[in-house]
Structure 1
């Protein structure tokens, strides 16, 4: 609009300017309204957000990938020597199922589920979603006080044995997903559940070969509950604590020798040199006597072989099912000849049990390798963690 101060506009020119100004304003308002309308329309058409990308660093058995409208979890190692992978699509509730072939499609966030291994429970509790657990096989083996209370109050149904879960009970529970555990792809119970429309997802945390690799499976659970940030924070804390403890142990001037395992029916079972237990012993700055072995599982040796190599070992850790020195002597009088026996340097996790007899180590240790490492350092390097209270391992009685 043109303003004049000294020249007088005639009526025609004045009305002409007013009309032009009005037209410009009208056009501007129309464009503004159109822009806002389009913006609002765009907002309404945006697909609901899916889980954020998760970086998996230590675990080798799964990956998490964001797609446009869903999260893709790929389990590459559900059990040792698996010959196939499994893919699972996690979609926000109320959104269409994506195109493609998946072994299961799960709507998130999950409101109720069934898990099948005690190693799954710590992840649920750490993410504060333990109240979603509605069924579990062999509930007697659950040690966590928090989940034990829910079992005792009837909030978690007993499902029988893992290999033959009571399918009728699971169907009645109608969970959003069943987190399965298996040693192969021949579990007929899982196949039956899938036919009823209940998604079954394999978890292979137990097949990981490193302590931090096992613990990182909390990131596998996170997308089911939209808890990615929480999982990342929890795992980062565990990594920091683990590495700090490892550095403290490395600074010790001693490197004691260690033997592990025990006899069972004339066979001494002990960790392979590339197993997760062997990794713990290395990070605790000890010399595991079978560290040069390349097995990732367990070794099966005769008594004489272990006796000859380990009789002078400084420490004997995790002696199988034995909880007392008297039990060892009842099994074999030769045990008294071991240096670790003579010096009372035998430590076990078998004395740390839940209310119904389940071993806490089997349940919680895979999720908290930082605590396991600190336990081992506490006993093998007594001057390193002087103010620490062991969580799993205790002296043999």
Structure 2
């Protein structure tokens, strides 16, 4: 009898453990393979790449934050949480008018650049958190900030290759900044728009062939076939010249290699931030040999640019629906006859 009770008790414990594991796994909010978070016993747990964080009750939401990367400003702006920013690096690369206004008012401080952060200034600002992409060469800087009680959070949104997953980082910012509901609404709106646009693109009668990016020196850095840009081109129902490539990073080629693949290309996108084809030729006369340069259409990413700041790398990081809409307008203009490009611009 005692043995039967012991076996039943052991069985109940095993079932409970399995049930607990399932519940625990389900608690995680998965943004992507690189980013997940969950709340458990009053603690907000975050996994970001190789880094893990535990934020105890009372530590979040953050009220005073520092941004070391301009791309992250897009999420803050979309949440209308600019008033929480107390410091930014390299403000000349930030597009947001609201952030520049707060800089002029002294409510946001310039804390240096990616070449050299003003660590003492950051410490004196006493931020609740510093958001940045992880750069190994800055380990000493990060450690100095941590030694002074400053929370450093590494987010590598630039490594995300699926547009909606990059957009979904807004949900984490919402959780950390007390804008949970607003972030959820924004994401659902963008996701809904993106899905509708993707379905619309499938109605196009043609599927044009596309070339992307440009040369730096003697090397052409083309997006790999599984990259952010390649995914946009595919979702806009066009055919990227490296569609069968499996890389999530840039593929390097010589001009001759690209020339050999570009005979049937009709559109050339993400051709830098040039203002005209003439300017492109001055930088690289070889471009003139490409048939797409003379007979096709070439688009730069300077539709929303102010000096060094380009909103494609700021709000465009979040508004994947508008970026996709631009690509569809370029490849299938008949589907969006009234729409004017947001981030892209045709070069004349």
- Class of the TM-score when normalised by the shorter of the 2 chains: 0.7 to 0.9
- Count of aligned positions: 322
Match of 2:21 in 1: none
User: Is 1:272 the counterpart of 2:237 in the alignment?
Assistant: no
SS at match of 1:124: helix
Q: Report what 1:202 is aligned to.
A: 154
Contact 2:224–2:245 (CA<8 Å) still a contact in 1?
A: yes
Aligned residue for 2:82? 130
Question: 1:42: which partner in 2?
Answer: none
Counterpart selection for 1:64 from 19, 27, 37: 37
Length-normalised TM-score, structure 1: 0.77
Partner of 1:330: 282
Match of 1:379 among 330, 341, 347: 330
Report the aligned-residue RMSD: 1.7
Q: Is the 8 A contact 2:77 2:96 kept in 1?
A: no
Which of 230, 234, 240 pairs up with 1:288? 240
Q: How does 1:28-177 map to 2 (within 5 A)?
A: 55-57=29-31, 59-75=32-48, 77=49, 85-93=50-58, 107-162=59-114, 164-177=116-129
Q: Secondary structure at the match of 2:215?
A: strand
Q: What's the offset of the Cα at 1:186? A: 5.0
Equivalent position of 2:174 in the other structure: 222
How high is the TM-score relative to the length of structure 2? Answer: 0.88
Residue 338 of structure 1: how far off its partner (Å): 2.5
Q: 1:181 aligns with which of 133, 136, 142?
A: 133
Choose between structure 1 and 2: higher helix proportion: 2
Report the more deviating stretch, 322-331 or 246-255: 322-331
Q: Which has the larger radius of gyration?
A: 1
C-alpha offsets along residues 300-332 of structure 1, whole Å, 9 cap, x if unaligned?
A: 100000011113300000113433110222234
1:349 aligned to 2:323?
A: no
CA contact 2:70–2:90 (8 Å) conserved in 1:
no
Unaligned runs of 5+ in 2: 1-26
Tell me if the contact between 2:36 and 2:47 (Cα under 8 Å) persists in the aligned partners.
yes
C-alpha distance in 2 between matches for 1:321 and 1:135: 28
Question: Alignment partner of 1:383: what SS?
Answer: helix
Q: Distance in 1 between matches of 2:254 and 2:156?
A: 31
Preserved contact between residue 242 and residue 369 of structure 1 (Cα < 8 Å)? yes
Work out the CA distance in 1 between the residues paired with 2:284 and 2:79.
45
**Which piece of structure 1 moves more, 134-143 or 148-157?**
148-157
Quote how far apart the aligned CAs of 1:295 are: 1.0
The answer on 1:367 being equivalent to 2:318 is yes
CA displacement at 1:60 relative to structure 2: 2.0
Q: Post-superposition shift, 1:258?
A: 0.4
SS for the counterpart of 1:175 is: coil
Whole-Å Cα distance in 2 between the matches of residues 73 and 227 of structure 1? 17
Aligned with 1:161: secondary structure? coil
* Cα separation, 2, equivalents of 1:311 and 1:148: 45
How far apart in 1 are the matches of 2:238 and 2:86? 42
Q: Distance in 2 between matches of 1:177 and 1:333?
A: 47
Q: Distance in 2 between matches of 1:393 and 1:198?
A: 39
SS in structure 2 of the partner of residue 92 of structure 1: coil
CA deviation vs aligned residue, 1:64-98 (integer Å, no higher than 9, x gap):
111112211111x2xxxxxxx222222332xxxxx
What are structure 1's unaligned runs of at least 5 residues?
Answer: 1-52, 78-84, 94-106
With over 3 angstroms needed to count, the CA separation of the structure-2 counterparts of 1:289 and 1:116, relative to structure 1, is same
> Which has the larger displacement, 334-343 or 360-369?
334-343
1:302 — aligned with what? 254
Q: Is the 8 A contact 1:177 1:201 kept in 2?
A: yes
1:161 is displaced (CA, Å) by 1.7
